Amino acid sequence: METKRTVVPAAEEILGGYFPVLDHGFVALIDYMGSDESIEQAARVSYGFGTRKTSQTRGLVRYLRRHRHTTPSEMVELKFHCAMPMFIARQWIRHRTASVNEYSGRYSLMPLLFYRPEYEDFAVQSESNRQGREGAPAARDVYAEAIRRWEEVRRLSGETYGWLVEEDVARELARIDLPLSTYTQWYWKIDLHNLFHFLSLRADPHAQWEIQEFARVMAGMLKRVAPLSYEAWLDYDFGGAHMSYGELAALRSLVEPGADVLRVRDGASLDFDQLKAHGLSKRESIELLEKLGPAERPDFELDLSRMRPPEEFQSRMQAAVPGDFE
């Protein structure tokens, strides 16, 4: 049947395809509403909307993003189906700007699938970041012992869950000792403006690595729905940097703006004491130097060879349900 709704061929190519994340997780783009053109249409509501060149749409989308005019981006929505470990879901749900419907352990049996980090992602606590880990893996003997202990806890937890269900104990009670490594899943619908905020935080290298993996895939899906908005987000938000009044004051002391050129002041330099005079703490000074350091422009292109049919994950989830109690 022919449709009158906005259709983006690149998004249609992946619609309903499932991309694996971590060991048992996935992300799928289930539906979308709108495109870059929808943002332009909303922004130009006072002027009408006709046929325009892509370059003109791009210019407006970038202007809106650059100047933080965000409401037109709310006209575009994406709906995802995701499966993730519960400890990631608890981080994820802090973004209270989406419509969410999560798998119910009160109604359905929980698949006994548990997340196990690979050795390369198993690290000790960071000395400088209280909520992060060091970059290098921990000792292999510690990893081996962690695996042994995790498997023991999960075996006992799974056996207890299965026994309680067999004894016809209410599912809402049988589930209470399943660990945070257990996988859950949900449908998650969000508008483009709030998705940008989610991705800016969760695809950032400072975020927990596991949730970064989900955010990268979602960013690749977004790129196919609204590529011009994705490009503007990379340039002005994710790959850009915001400057405070003090940071700008420090940088202004280094340059002399002319009519059409910036000139560096003779012998200009800034040390921490000078930055402090501009109101920057030592931590802020370090962050300013990091902002001005070299950085690669990221890209979140999807690898279509990894896309799988939904039946593959459905069968895996069903096989992990304890027994046949339905």
Check: CB of residue 193 under 8 Å from CB of residue 186.
no
* Cα radius of gyration rounded to whole Å, the chain: 24
How far is it, in rounded angstroms, from Cα 48 to Cα 169? 61
147 CA to centre of own chain: 27
How far is it, in rounded angstroms, from Cα 83 to Cα 166? 26
Q: How many other C-beta atoms lie within 10 A of the C-beta of residue 48?
A: 7
Q: 168 Cβ partners below 8 Å, 6+ apart?
A: none
Burial class, 9, CB count within 10 angstroms (exposed 0-12 / middle 13-18 / buried 19+): exposed
Q: How many other C-beta atoms lie within 10 A of the C-beta of residue 72?
A: 23
Give catalytic status of residue 202 as yes or no: yes
Q: How far is CA 188 from CA 11, 19, 88, 97, 310, in A?
A: 17, 15, 14, 10, 16
Q: How far is CA 128 from CA 134, 142, 295, in A?
A: 9, 21, 21
Active-site entry in 65, 171, 175, 202? 202
Helices H / strands E in the chain, number of each: 13, 7
Catalytic annotation, residues = 202
